[in-house]
Amino acid sequence: MPAEKNRQIAIVELPQGKLSESHFKLVESTVPEPHEGDALLKVRYISLDAANRAWMQGATYRDAIEAGQVMAGGAIAEVISSTAEGFKPGDLVFADTGWQEFAVLPAKQLTKLPSLEPMTHLLSVYGIAGLTAYFGLFEIGQPKEGETVVVSAAAGSVGSIVGQLAKMRGCRVVGIAGGKEKCDWLVKELGFDAAIDYKNEPVHKALKEACPKGIDVYFDNVGGDILEACLFRMNLFGRIACCGAVSQYDGDAPAHGPRGVPGLIVTKRLKMQGFIVMDFNDKRDQALKDLERWVGEGKIKVQEDVIEGLENTPKALIGLLAGENRGKRMIKVA
C-alpha cells in the first residue's frame, strides 16, 4: 500500500484545564509498513469515550498519553494485509489503533470481531459500552426485583443500556442526565420510571421525589456532586458501581471527594466498588449472547451517534465531554 497517505490526529500538548481543539492537529504521514507478525489495519469506526480524556491526566488502567503522539483510541478496523497469526485480510478487529486512518499492530493487540450488521453495534451495545453496562450493573450492582436503581450520564452510551437492563430486572429506574430533551427521551423512549435534569434542578431534592424508597443501586458514571447527592439517599446495604468520573476528567484534578465518605459508607454499610470491563473477560461470551438476544427481542433499544470524518474527532470528543451526545458516539473514518 505504497502511495497512500495516512491521516492522523496528533496531540500538540496535553491539556492543563479544559480540552480544546488546539490541543490536537491533523498530520499526514505514510501508511506504516508491517513487520513479521503484524497486521496492517484500515480504521473504520473510532470509539469516543469519556475515558479518552482521563488518559490525558496520567496513568490509569493504561499508560498516560504523551504530547507528540497520535491520540490513542479504540476502533473497529479491517485487516488489509497480515502476517499476524490468526488474522487474514477482510477480518474485522477491535484494537487501540489511535486516531488515524491506518495502523500496524501485532496479533496480541487485536480482538477479532464477528461480522454483523450494523457494524456500529460492535462499538455500542456489543462493544465496551454494552459490556460495561452489563457487568457493572449485574456483577457489581446486583440489583434485585423491586429495588431502585439510579444511573448518571443516563443518556450516554453506558447509562442508556444500564437503565434498560435494570428495567428488565424488574427495578424502579431513575436516570440523571443534562437537559429536558434527554430526560424526556429516557422516560418516553427507553422506559425509565423517572429522569432528573441535573442542569435544571437540584439533584438531592429531585432524588427524594424520584426515589421515595431510597436508592439500592447507584451506577456512577460521573463522580463529584451527583455521587455525593446519591450517597445521602442510599439505603442500608446499598451498592455503588464506580464506572467513571466524567465530571472530573476535563479540567483540574478535583480538590476533594464527596461528603459522606466514609461516614455514610459505615453507617449505611454501603459497598462502593470500581471496575473496568476487562475485569470480566471470562464472562464475555455469555454477556454478548444475552445482549444479542435482548436487542433481537426489542428489549434493548440501541442509540448511536455517528459523526463522519477523522478530522472531526477532536471536536466530537470535546462535545461528548460537554454531554452533547445521546447514546454511543463514534467517528466513521472509512
- Interface residues with its own copies (CB under 8 A) are 54, 60-61, 220, 223, 227-228, 242-245, 248, 253-276, 279
Taking the complex as a whole, the smallest distance from the CB of residue 263 to its own copies amounts, in Å, to 5
Could you tell me the end-to-end alpha-carbon distance of the chain, in angstroms, rounded to an integer? Answer: 16
- Of residues 160 and 248, the one with the C-beta less far from its own copies: 248
Sort 89 into a burial class: Cβ within 10 Å, 0-12 / 13-18 / 19+: exposed
Taking the complex as a whole, the smallest distance from the CB of residue 251 to its own copies amounts, in Å, to 13
Query: Residue 228 in contact with residue 32, Cβ under 8 Å?
Result: no
Taking the complex as a whole, the smallest distance from the CB of residue 228 to its own copies amounts, in Å, to 8
Taking the complex as a whole, the smallest distance from the CB of residue 268 to its own copies amounts, in Å, to 7
- Of residues 219 and 294, the one with the C-beta less far from its own copies: 219
Sort 51 into a burial class: Cβ within 10 Å, 0-12 / 13-18 / 19+: buried
Taking the complex as a whole, the smallest distance from the CB of residue 254 to its own copies amounts, in Å, to 7
Taking the complex as a whole, the smallest distance from the CB of residue 82 to its own copies amounts, in Å, to 33
SS3 30: strand
Sort strands 5-11 and 24-30 into parallel, antiparallel or unpaired.
Answer: antiparallel
Query: Residue 242 in contact with residue 222, Cβ under 8 Å?
Result: no
- Of residues 180 and 259, the one with the C-beta less far from its own copies: 259
- Of residues 103 and 240, the one with the C-beta less far from its own copies: 240
- Of residues 139 and 290, the one with the C-beta less far from its own copies: 139
Residue 264 corresponds to which cell in the numbers above?
455514610
d(CA 267, CA 273): 17
Amino acid, res. 33:
E
- Of residues 261 and 307, the one with the C-beta less far from its own copies: 261
Buried b (16+ CB within 10 A) or exposed e, 154-185: bbbbbbbbbbbbbbebebbbbbbbbbeebbeb
